Amino acid sequence: MRNRLILTVLALAVVALATLAPSASATRVSDGQLKAQLRNAKQQLRLARERAQKARADLAAALELRARTADGQTATPPPGVTLPAGMDPALAAKLLADGVVSDEEIAALQTRAVRAGKLVHRWKFKARRITQRVQRRRQIATWARRHDWRPLIEIAGHTYGVSPAGLYRMMMLESGGQPTVGTTYKGLFQYTPGEWVRHWNPWRHESIFNGWAQIRATALALSKGMGPSQWPNTYPMAF
C-alpha cells in the first residue's frame, strides 16, 4: 500500500510538471502582441509617473501645511492660513479635520509616495525589457532576410544547448545555407514536408522554407537526441 501511494504521488508530480512546463509554441508571443504589450507598458508607465508626481506634490503640500499650522489653531483651514499653492482643498480638509496635520498622516503620504515611486520603476523596467525584445526581433528579422545565419545559429544553439559550430556545419552540408533548395527534402536542414509538420516541431505552421524556423526546429531536434536518426549522413560529420 505504501509503495502504491508513493508511485501515485510521483505520477501526479510528473503530470503537474508536464502541465506547468510551457512548450516553445505555447510561450511564443506574436510581434503584434509584443507591440501591444509595449504600448500598454508605456501607457501604464505614464500613468504611474503622474500618480507618483501627485503623491510627491501632496506630501510636499502636507508638510508645508503642517508648518503653517504649527501654532495649533483648530479651524479648517485656520484663520489667516492660506493653503500651499496647488494643494488639493479636499486633501487639506481631510488633513485638518481634527485641526492638526499629524505625524501619522504625514507617514501615510510618505508611504504612498514611496509605493508610487516603486510602481514607476517596475513599469519602467518592464517597458525597457519589452523594448529590448522588440528590437531583438527586428534584428533577427534583418538577419533572416539577409540570410545571415551565423548569429541566428548562435542564438538557437545556446538556447537549446547545441554546439552552434556543429549546427552551422550541418546546415552547410545539407543545403549550403540556401533556405529554398530541395525537392523531396527542403530548406536549410532538408526536411521532408511530412517530418516538418510533425507534432514535435513547434514551428510546423511556419513555411518549410523559413530559415529561422528551421534553425530553431533543428536545434530543438538535436537537443532531443534526434540528430543521428534525422540526419544520418551529415550529423556525424558535423558533430
pLDDT digits (tens, 9 = 90+) for 8-60: 333 333 333 333 333 444 357 899 999 999 999 999 999 999 999 999 999 99
pLDDT at 214: 98
| Position 6 confidence tier, pLDDT thresholds 50, 70, 90 | very low
Better-scored residue on pLDDT, 82 or 105: 105
**Confidence category of residue 77, pLDDT binned at 50, 70, 90:** low
**From CA 92, how far away is CA 45, in angstroms rounded?**
28
Residue 71 confidence (pLDDT):
58
Which runs of consecutive H residues, i.e. helices, occur in the chain? 2-20, 31-68, 89-95, 103-145, 149-160, 164-175, 193-196, 211-223, 227-230, 234-238
Taking the C-alpha atoms of residue 227 and residue 233, their distance in angstroms, rounded to an integer, is 10
Record the pTM. 0.71
